[in-house]
Structure 1
Amino acid sequence: MRLRTALLAMTSMAAAPTIAMASTITGPYVDLGGGYNLVQQQHAHFSPTTQADGSMGNGGTKSRFRHQDGFTGFGAFGWGFGNGLRAEVEGVYNYSNIVHRRPTYANGSTHGSDQSYGGFVNVLYDIDLAQFGIDVPVTPFVGVGAGYLWQHYNPITTSYNNGAVNRVGGTNGGFAYQGIVGAAYDVPGVPGLAFTTEYRMIGQTFTDGAYQSTSWNASGVHKGNVNFDHRFNHQFILGMRYAFDTAPPPPPPAPVVVPPAPTPARTYLVFFDWDKSNLTSRAREIVAQAAQASTHVQTTRIEVNGYADNSAAHPGPRGQKYNLGLSVRRAQSVKAELVRDGVPAAAIDVHGYGEEHPLVPTGPNTREPQNRRVEIILR
């Protein structure tokens, strides 16, 4: 028993895992991002009195405005519910250059820009790849949002070769919605911090006659209204997200207990991050020590027993079944490392016990680092 306590103390000090990056968020988080904003071609209908094309007639005019380069930026505050679902409130700003207008009564050039600003309420879902057996620090996500955006034209000026000029401007708000597809990449060594990549499609509706048009031509100054059709933005975004850790800190490591006399080590403990089966560099050192010891003492069998704590993304029998499989994968990882260190595979017995036989008794659904382990027993 004293040997077991000493081994636990030494290995927990050096090989205790860091806080694992959870693939789903529980609690508050903030999100910032920005990137490229591409607006689809827009159709505009000018009121009959506008004479926007510079002609002398009184007929209305329809034109298509082409957008070029633009950018977007947003900031969001949200809450994760621990089951993959997140809800957030977002403020957004979009900008786009306008460089072309056709058809028109006479040839000319067009230049201008527009900007939109407002907010969305978004609902998103994180896809936990661990449930598919994929152990990578990447979490895909999808989402939808609805909100309100104010659209402002800065203005847009068209100068015709016949000397006429038309200018479109104004600000108006309208209902907006968006679809989101992206992925978060966990930053190693910084729990809660992740870089994100996203594609967003934003759609927006406008009120009839929302914008003003003014034309100057040979017959004088003409004013009227402009109606724009549905607007679509395609956005490619890089961002950074930080999830605040609301879980209680892990318990302090067990105190170091020095045995009264040196005793040959027969049991070795290897610890794992939460929901992980890969070995840390310190864990590999522990496995290497066990492999070396097996050649210096009389060993007939080597038992490799895997365990998990009782926390799981899906509580109940489903979570217990998942943890049983996780304990087997951990034991298999240790066995594979022993074989790489020269131990014959036929001399190793692998067992997975799931949540059974915890080192530290806990309440239900508790993340306990000392229960996420593999025991290497030399017999």
Structure 2
Amino acid sequence: MKNEDEKMRLRTALFATTLMAAAPVAASATTITGPYVDIGGGYDLTQSQHAHFAGDAGGSGGGSATYRHQNGFTGFGSFGWGFGNGLRAEVEGVYNYSEINHASNASANRTRGSDQSYGGLVNVLYDIDLKQFGIDAPVTPFVGVGAGYLWQHYNPTQSNYANGNTTRLGGTNGGFAYQGIVGAAYDTGIPGLQVTTEYRMIGQPGSFTDGAYSGTSITNGHRSTGNVNFDHRFNHQFILGLRYAFDTAPPPPPPAPVVAPPVVTPARTYLVFFDWDKSNLTARARQIVAEAAQASTHVQTTRIEVNGYTDNSSARGGASGAKYNMGLSIRRADSVKAELVRDGVPASAIDIHGYGEQHPLVPTGPNTREPQNRRVEIILH
């Protein structure tokens, strides 16, 4: 019966997490770059644990019992860093609390008590960009793993048996802990602020060394003490949280103004701009590429020319800078071509070229970061 109760609580919490994941939010998904903070809390379900009583701690000759946990809660706070490519690393402090309401062994009993754990973990997580699967939604799923150190403290927990005997346990012991994380972040429309839902499984190997926890047994008026050890511990947690990213990266430069001709005709040249030393497309850049792809189906087009350029600054110093920028311009042109193909343009109709620092849109002095020179031109012939 107790296993069925645990399964029912686990299914209910999983269903609640699924409902939160389905809630719509009007915004665009975000990949974190730079520092962020994260806080959260929720429901903690601790699996039943097996206790081993050494000596006379559990009565004459020792013994064992299974302790069943009931209601519990968890809370955490973390500080992390996003690398802009989906990967994140963070340091986390966590606190868990759980009630203990039953201990089963050879005779009927009533048990009351609780336990708590606290400590720190280091987590590595990966945000899954749904745009790479063609899904433009305001949600970013993520997965992660963590490892660290937790102290496990059993508050005074007493079991009263039908025959009048009593056992008590308590004490604190620390050890290695690990966790797996599955969740999703939802943009709120406020820059940098996201709501998160998570499922976490925390595991902590059992403590079989003498003196891990203390136990007391009162049998027929005789009091005896000894050690109590527990097997592997598992916490299942269902969490709602808030995360704020301090994104210090400058926004992408606005596209160059286009003077509309007096007669409305489909545009023949499109400009796509890039962040410094980047070849990935921004959301605005994808819109411009989509417009070019659509225009190619409405006007007579025999060939599409895609030309990549850079400004005259470089992530590589010295003489290798120009060579590096030449390669960067080709990568930018390749990114635009790949997006055109995703938008339905045949790859055989697209010619790409990389010109590096040549033919700047805005003349500048040497080693100048000029947003309008970091571009790809899409020309419909």
Deviation at 1:162, TM superposition (A): 2.0
Contact 2:310 2:375 in 1 (8 A): no
Deviation at 1:61, TM superposition (A): 2.1
Which residue among 327, 352, 375 is the counterpart of 2:336? 327
Question: Which residue number in structure 2 is paired with residue 341 of structure 1?
Answer: none
Question: Which residue number in structure 1 is paired with residue 63 of structure 2?
Answer: 61
Q: Does 1:245 align with 2:247?
A: yes
Question: Which residue number in structure 2 is paired with residue 174 of structure 1?
Answer: 174
* Larger relative contact order, structure 1 or 2 (CA cutoff 8 Å, min sep 6): 1
Question: Which residue number in structure 1 is paired with residue 202 of structure 2?
Answer: 201
Question: When the two structures are aligned, how many residues end up with a matched partner?
Answer: 329
Question: Which residue number in structure 1 is paired with residue 226 of structure 2?
Answer: 224
**Which of the pair has more CA radius of gyration?**
1
Q: Deviations over 1:64-123 (max 9, x none)?
A: 21223433221110123445543322110112222322213x32122322111111233x
Question: Which residue number in structure 1 is paired with residue 96 of structure 2?
Answer: 94
Deviation at 1:39, TM superposition (A): 2.5
Change (3 A) 1:308 1:114: farther
Contact 1:307 1:371 in 2 (8 A): no
Contact 1:109 1:160 in 2 (8 A): yes
Change (3 A) 1:199 1:219: closer
Question: Which residue number in structure 1 is paired with residue 39 of structure 2?
Answer: 32
Uncovered stretches (5+) of structure 2, i.e. residues with no partner:
1-26, 317-323
Contact 2:30 2:140 in 1 (8 A): no
% of aligned pairs identical? Answer: 41
User: What is the root-mean-square deviation in Å for CA atoms of aligned residues?
Assistant: 4.7
Counterparts of 1:1-379 in structure 2, within 5 Å, are 23=31, 25-50=32-57, 52-53=58-59, 58-82=60-84, 84-104=86-106, 106-122=107-123, 124-126=124-126, 129=129, 133-136=132-135, 138-147=140-149, 149-170=150-171, 172-185=172-185, 187=187, 189-194=189-194, 195-206=196-207, 208-251=210-253, 262=262, 266-267=267-268, 269=270, 275-276=280-281, 300-301=300-301, 323-332=332-341, 350-352=350-352, 359=361, 368=371, 375=378, 377=380
Counterpart secondary structure, 1:79: strand
Distance in 1 between residues matched to 2:176 and 2:244, nearest whole Å: 26
Distance in 1 between residues matched to 2:98 and 2:79, nearest whole Å: 25
Change (3 A) 1:369 1:237: farther
Q: Deviations over 1:306-332 (max 9, x none)?
A: 567869xxx979976754442024434
Distance in 2 between residues matched to 1:327 and 1:161, nearest whole Å: 76
Contact 2:169 2:213 in 1 (8 A): yes
Tell me the amino acid that sits aligned with residue 73 of structure 1. G
Contact 1:21 1:191 in 2 (8 A): no
Tell me the amino acid that sits aligned with residue 134 of structure 1. F
Contact 1:360 1:368 in 2 (8 A): no
Contact 2:289 2:339 in 1 (8 A): no
Counterpart secondary structure, 2:226: strand
Tell me the amino acid that sits aligned with residue 121 of structure 2. F
Distance in 1 between residues matched to 2:178 and 2:362, nearest whole Å: 47
Distance in 2 between residues matched to 1:271 and 1:142, nearest whole Å: 34
- TM-score w.r.t. structure 1 length? 0.65
Counterpart secondary structure, 1:327: helix
Deviation at 1:43, TM superposition (A): 2.2
Q: Deviations over 1:234-254 (max 9, x none)?
A: 334443333211223444676
Tell me the amino acid that sits aligned with residue 118 of structure 1. G
Contact 1:304 1:334 in 2 (8 A): no
Q: Deviations over 1:100-149 (max 9, x none)?
A: 22213x32122322111111233x1426658x9434453533323222x2
Of the structure 1 ranges 275-284 and 72-81, higher mean CA displacement relative to structure 2 is found in 275-284
Deviation at 1:358, TM superposition (A): 6.9
Distance in 1 between residues matched to 2:250 and 2:363, nearest whole Å: 17
Uncovered stretches (5+) of structure 1, i.e. residues with no partner:
1-18, 337-344
Deviation at 1:284, TM superposition (A): 10
Tell me the amino acid that sits aligned with residue 42 of structure 2. G
